[in-house]
Chain A
Amino acid sequence: MATKTATPYTDLLRRLTGDEKHDASAHSTLDVLWVLYDRVLHVSPDRVDDPERDRFLLSKGHGPAAYYAVLAAKGFIPHAWLDDMGGPDSRLGHHPDRTLVPGVEIGSGSLGHGLGLGVGTALGLRAQGLLRPRVYVLLGDAELDEGSNHEAIAYAGATGLDPIIAIVIDNRSSTHGWPGGIAGRFTVNGWTATTVDGRDHDAIEAGIAARHVGRPHVVVARVEDKG
């Protein structure tokens, strides 16, 4: 298990947030992001416009420090950009803008937009015969409160849109919760689902790999409850 090993992003994250007190665990998305960029995504800084690249869509645009740290660690953006997040001349805002940050596929922040954009991206790739790239969409459990997600979940399931892999970071921050669990919201619509420890890198990787041909897949990544 690769949990809590020193990673190249730890210092970058501190540089970004100026936060010496909290370690990486304060960032709910960090481990999933690292596994995606380190082990899963077919992307690299020299092919951000390659039609054959995988797409990663950060739908949950809140708290993107972990995202920026990983992008810097993987060479998509200069480390120096991390020193002025949210500043007047910074390209890195508290919600990311795809037109300002290389490697960022969508601008997000308003919740509930990424999955619909991801469905459209998967459909567009398929229509052009680009059958290898996959479309990964990162959401949060509270983000699922937005009804727009459920439009996308129902449609992707009904049409068996299997390039789609959703990852839901579950820190139990949804105000009214998801009785019966998050995975069921997807599986009832024809998705496959795996629930994993969102801090366990091997488990995250295996959960993503558990997808089936012909069905969209969701990985529910459990992390500590939001304090």
Chain B
Amino acid sequence: MRETFIDTATALLDDDPRTALVLADISAATFAPAADRHPDRVLNVGIREQLMLGVAGGLALTGLRPIVHSYATFVVDRAYEQIKLDLNHQEAGAVLVSVGASYDGATAGRTHMSPGDMALLDTLGGWTVHVPGHEGEVAPLLRAAAATDDRVYLRLSTGHNAAPRPDAHRLTVVRAGGPDAPVVVAVGPMLDPVLEGTAGLDVTVAYTHTPRPFDAAGLRALVRTDVIMVEPYLKGTSAGFVAEALIGTAHRALHLGVGREDLRRYGSPRDHARWHGLDAAGVRRSVEGFLTA
């Protein structure tokens, strides 16, 4: 996904003079050719994330369309107040593009993990969030985001599904269960573990790469009684949205995602998926437990 992002952002810089890219050293070397061609619009501020977001706000106030890129923990967590004030409060738009989703940087440890980025943006509102599940979804999402003045967060991951589903802007049924079957919602790279983990169970599996704005109408249309959210960021991040969407429906809800605890372990993303119950076996265990409870 990161390579697709770099190629697409480079093409946007070539094609649209409104596009600007703001970096804080991360990925700067890969954007060197673009920086050579567009020195006024490829801006590497050094390891200064507060400035990176402030610059994005300023660029937007002059009418440019900034794309801001770093690790999730640096672009969202570290510069949270700059997002809140230099973008939202100024009514300035930007496209934030992160790598290092949740525990993608597992070997780097907790300092490079950011499971709470989505929850932080939810405190602000007004953000469209894309969590692509395949590199084939990245380019159209980035191109569409660059064409607006909205606040958009594109959360790239090394986790991915086998097939792209670029049209899944809203909840899209991937595998239909019976008429009253429980609904399992998979966000982004969670789809394949969900499909494997729920194989043979009578559940409806729905997918989206765009969890914000939350597809409340789509969820209401699908859910009869039971809903299970499987998200690749902090567990329960969408719990409030699900509760609000189903406020008139007697329902049960289970939320799977990344736990809050700092596990203080390295290893691979696959290891962390297992430890957080987000691999296929973990999803099956949780879903079966919930449905038989």
Contact = CB atoms under 8 A, between A and B. Distances in A.
A binds B: yes
Interface of A: 51, 97-99, 105-107, 110, 112-113, 115-128, 130, 147-148, 151-152, 154-155
Given A123-B59, A127-B59, 10 more contacts: A113-B85, A116-B53, A117-B57, A119-B51, A124-B20, A125-B62, A130-B62, A148-B50, A148-B82, A154-B46
Closest 10 CB pairs of A and B: A120-B58, A116-B54, A124-B62, A120-B55, A121-B58, A151-B48, A151-B51, A127-B40, A124-B59, A148-B50
A120 B56 contact: yes
Given A98-B90, A124-B64, A152 B54 contact: yes
B40 A110 contact: no
B81 interface: yes
A105 B61 contact: yes
Given A98-B90, A107-B89, A127-B40, A122 B58 contact: yes
Contact of A51 (B41, B63, B66, B90): B63
A61 to B, nearest CB: 10
Interface magnitude class on chain B: 20 to 34
A118 B85 CA distance: 14
B91 interface: yes
A116 B90 contact: no
Contacts of A147: 50
A110 B91 CA distance: 16
Main secondary structure, interface of A, reads helix
B86 A124 contact: no
B58 A123 contact: yes
26 contacts: A51-B62, A110-B85, A113-B82, A113-B86, A116-B51, A116-B55, A116-B58, A116-B86, A117-B61, A119-B54, A119-B55, A120-B55, A120-B56, A120-B57, A120-B58, A121-B59, A121-B61, A121-B62, A123-B40, A123-B43, A127-B59, A127-B64, A128-B64, A151-B48, A151-B50, A155-B48
A123 B151 CA distance: 20
B173 interface: no
B45 interface: yes
A68 B51 CA distance: 28
B40 A120 contact: no
B58 A117 contact: yes
A130 B148 CA distance: 23
Nearest to A155: B45
